[in-house]
Every structure is written in C-alpha cells, then in structure tokens.
Amino acid sequence: MARLELTLNFPKSFQVKTFNVKSKKKLSPLTKLILKSIRFKHFYYVRDDISYLLRSKPIERDFLLQALYSIVISLQNNLCINFFDMWVYEVYINKVPNFNKFINQNLQQLEPEEYVTIKLAYSVNRFNEKNNIS
C-alpha cells in the first residue's frame, strides 16, 4: 500500500525537464514495454522496476540505469532537487532515420537510431538549503 501512496502522491506544483539519450543498440520489446509502464512513477520505483525486470538483459538494464542516474544526479546538483521529489513524467522512444549521403538512395538499408526521451517531473521547493546557508 505504501508504494501506491508514494506513486500516486504526485505534486500539485511541479516542473518538468526533458532529457534525450541515444541508444547504441536497438531496444528489445521487453525494454520498450517496461519504459511505457513507468509513467508517473516515483524515481525509486522506476529504478527498482528496471533493475528487477531487466535482469535477463543486463546490457539494456545497465544502459537505462546509467542514463537515469546521470539525469537524476544532474537535477540534484544543478537545481538542488531531492531524490524523493522526482517522478518520471513521461518516457517515449524516437526512431530517427539514419541516412548516408554518399550511398545511393535506392540502395540505402541503414537501421534508424533510437533515442529514449525521459521527462522527469520534480516538485519545486521555495526554500532550499543552499539559499539558507548564506
């Protein structure tokens, strides 16, 4: 029950930051399904879901966890956001066509690149520790 309360306890006033991460390899259908299911979840539950549900795919699990940790640490360092005040607002995958202008257009068979777009929502605290120190 505690998980449900924390997941649904989305803040009334929040801001959203968007981050794009390029995937080196094509993501599996399982990974895409997990990414679709983490919308409006708290950061810690997203981390747990990725860790446990992608145990069979360690390369994709590590890629997503590294991207997520990097994003969250960036928000924490730059905006003084607490880990407990972050939610995944939206996640989607963009396929960007990959063209080579030196290859004949009729013979071009390049795989599209995949970008994972993660939107993190965070609650805005009017008083943070850095402002109170001075």
Tens digits of residue pLDDT in 7-46? 456 667 788 999 999 998 889 999 999 999 998 888 889 9
Residue 117 lies in a domain: yes
DSSP 91: E
Distance CA(48)–CA(54), nearest Å, equals 10
Q: Environment class of residue 66 by beta-carbon count within 10 Å: exposed (0-12), middle (13-18) or buried (19+)?
A: exposed
Q: What is the predicted pLDDT for the residue at 11?
A: 67
Q: Give the domain extent around 68.
A: 19-98+110-124
Distance CA(111)–CA(97), nearest Å, equals 7
Where residue 104 falls among pLDDT bands split at 50, 70, 90? low
Residue 1 lies in a domain: no
Q: What is the predicted pLDDT for the residue at 102?
A: 66
* Total number of domains constituting the chain: 1
Considering the chain, what percentage of its residues have pLDDT values greater than 90? Answer: 39
Distance CA(116)–CA(20), nearest Å, equals 6
Q: What CATH code is carried by the domain that includes residue 30?
A: 3.90.470.10
